[in-house]
Amino acid sequence: MNDSAYGIIPAYLLARLAESGRFPRAADAARQTLLAGRPTFRARINLSIDDQGDLVAELSDAPNRTISDAQNSETLPGVVVRAEDDAAVDDASVNEAFDGLGATFEMLLGAFQRNSLDGAGAPLDATVHYGVDYDNAFWDGERMVFGDGDGEVFRGFTGSITVIGHELAHGVIQHTAGLEYQGQPGALNESIADVFGALTEQYSEGQTADQASWLIGAGIFTEEVQGTALRSMLEPGTAYDDDELGKDPQPAHMSDFVQTTEDNGGVHINSGIPNRAFALTATTLGGNAWERAGLTWYKALTGGLVSTASFREFADATIAAAVDEEVATATRAAWTTVGVLEDARRSPAE
């Protein structure tokens, strides 16, 4: 079965839920979601050449959003229900998706001067109401796709701005470093997407690093689940602890790095390590996370990072990309705290 790459809900969590006796509807929904997987990955660069042979982008500095409705089918893109200049509709999922796409666009533009996912004004497309009780949201290479959840364990996914920012960030990664979705580069892919998801929420709400929750997917669990979110960037491994779903498996340190052949080599699991490095960097520096820590991570991503980058290679890239020595010091300390870099103050004998 396809491991639903780029989906916000990892396959190991759906597999656990599929065996649930406590949540029969959610168990059936998880089984159906696992069987459905996701459409084949597709890539698209939204640029064109005019009659004079010049490169032309579709738009410059404003979002161009289109929301479609799959009407509970698994056929994409679905029926267009709201375009950029249209007013809000009666469907909350449509409006939430529309607003989330816009919030991500504004963060990319305001924080990094990046015009949409490809840096050249790519349209932002999304489909809501995908499948029946579909327990995931994903980026398929050209659009965001949202399931409605099963109602027992997962709510609809359009209500989480961190989920939307995370999934659209896969589009940014696709157009920049193109990090391989396996092992450490895959975990970096997931982590950088979490960074962008968190920054989208913080930018939208005007939160400082100290005010932020650093939770990814807060609110997508129902009250029946013992958990606050899918992941905690500041405290990996603490987002949920439920009798049916198990305990959040994310490690916070390289000493607990999980070696596994599942989840594309643990991409949703080991991303906790670089996640914590970013959250520590941002909270150490204080202020708005997108201004210094976020800009450093963005410059590292877009500054020639190789697609097979390891945690150590990305750590080195972030230190090199730091805008000043204070940022470099905080970044180096964070990567040391999570065990990716060695503590230079310790002697070899220690």
Beta bridge partner(s), residue 127: 68, 145
Distances (CA, A) of 225 to 155, 171, 349: 11, 30, 46
Q: How many residues does the chain have?
A: 350
Tell me: pLDDT of 281 over 90.
yes
Beta bridge partner(s), residue 232: 215
pTM to 2 decimals? 0.86
Q: What is residue 247's predicted lDDT score, i.e. its pLDDT?
A: 96
Let me know: does 68 contact 93? Beta carbons within 8 Å.
no
285-301 pLDDT, tens digit each: 999 999 999 999 999 99
Span 254-274, average pLDDT: 95
Span 327-343, average pLDDT: 96
155-180 pLDDT, tens digit each: 999 999 999 999 999 999 999 999 99
Let me know: does 114 contact 171? Beta carbons within 8 Å.
no
102-149 pLDDT, tens digit each: 999 999 999 999 999 999 889 999 999 999 999 999 999 999 999 999
Extract the tokens encoding 137.
């949201």
43-68 pLDDT, tens digit each: 333 445 466 655 443 434 688 999 99
CA dist 180 and 268 (Å) reads 13
What is the homologous superfamily of the domain 11-337 according to CATH? Neutral Protease Domain 2 (1.10.390.10)
Span 188-192, average pLDDT: 97
> Mean pLDDT for the chain?
90
73-111 pLDDT, tens digit each: 999 999 999 999 899 999 999 999 999 999 999 999 999
Tell me: pLDDT of 311 over 90.
yes
Residues annotated catalytic, as ranges: 167, 268
What does the DSSP 8-state code read for residue 257? P
* Closest C-alpha among 127, 107, 38 to residue 297: 107
> How many other CB atoms sit within 10 Å of the CB of residue 12?
17
Extract the tokens encoding 63.
């979002």
